[in-house]
Amino acid sequence: MKKYYLIIVLALISVSSFAQMKLIKKLLSNEKDTLRKASFLPLPSFGYAQETGFQFGIGAIVGFYTDRADTTNRPSSLTLNLNYSTLKAYNMSSMIDIWGKGNKLHYIGELRFKRMPFNFYGIGNSTEEANEDKLIQQQIKVLLQAEKQLLPKAYTGVSIGFENYKYRDLVADGIFSRDAYYNNRMGSVFYVGVSQSYDSRNNNNYTTKGFFIRGTYQYAPPVFSAENFTGSQIKIDARNFWKLNKSFAIGVQGLYNTVIGKNTPIYLLPQMGNDEMMRGYYGGRYRDENLLAFQAELRYRYSNRFGATAFGGTGTVWGIDRFSTRSFKPNYGAGLRYFFDPEKGISVRLDYGVGEKRANEKRQSGFYISIAEAF
């Protein structure tokens, strides 16, 4: 009987080893999925950002085409993420990005519930590290957007959204409670919006050629108490990409955000720094009524599975201070890419960004582990 047990155990080990080798071979294969099948990847969720620390949890990514027979149909994706971080932040989020048949319709959705420690430094383009105020931020966000192609490559859209923020100040008499510029520090905002975009990118996940621009206007009516925000937000996002050869491409992006209204809350002020724009700056270290930022990225694709990038940019915020070209701050860095779905261009990226060195402060920098490209 022991002999049979041993045979069964050895058989199970062999099957498990074979399955693991098959999975590893699949994950490292340079072959593309010419059948354009849907891909489902349940995986341990991981990431890193200086605001949250290392993040661990579970997640799943579904990549698919609404029309597999149409080779011009853009890839769609659904993501689910549940994680907890070493800085005691937790995040539950789900995102959808669906392109209909013939790319005539485009649907975008986001549902997020987040609780995270957060450092607040004040308002403006010259905040000081010495004013760091430790907070606990709780966020609820719902966004639904639909776009329809009315002209070739041009999309007109509508959106609806809701956000709620709460903060707990961990520093008695810190700058968060003392800042006199913005008294509205927490609450809710409901908004409706319209958008217009033009999109000629060859791939919306990993772009190497084409042009993209989207302008968005969102209006927040007075549906909550008089202390809550009433006003408008305007966002303009422009990108262009050039393919240099089979392996190299260059991308550039310009981003402008502004908020206009009364009772403007701190949480709606445009913030400089995240894993997509001005990498290397702590998210929210600089925030104000207006944000303008630019970046360029050199993309190198070594194979279908692996790539690398070098990037640089500059940006500024203004409102309290007047706009000045001398107030722009630099950033630069590099990163690595692993494409777990090469055909659709969905990647895991590792980026390290570096920012400015202010007097009496260490140089600002940040390391990021994320899903999908920065832009």
Q: Does domain 40-371 have CATH number 3.40.30.10?
A: no
Least confident span in 94-98, 174-178, 201-205, 222-226: 222-226
| Reported pTM | 0.84
How large a percentage of the chain has pLDDT more than 90?
Answer: 56
Question: How long, in residues, is the chain?
Answer: 375
pLDDT in tens, 264-321: 888 889 999 999 999 999 988 999 999 999 999 999 999 999 999 999 999 999 998 8
What residue spans define the domains of the chain? Answer: 40-371
Q: Tell me if residue 15 falls in helix, strand or coil.
A: helix
How large a percentage of the chain has pLDDT more than 70?
Answer: 85
Residue with tokens 């550039």: 252
Least confident span in 21-35, 157-171, 212-226, 331-345: 21-35
Chain centroid offset of residue 205 CA: 12
**Residue 136 pLDDT class (50, 70, 90 cuts):** confident
Q: Tell me if residue 25 falls in helix, strand or coil.
A: helix
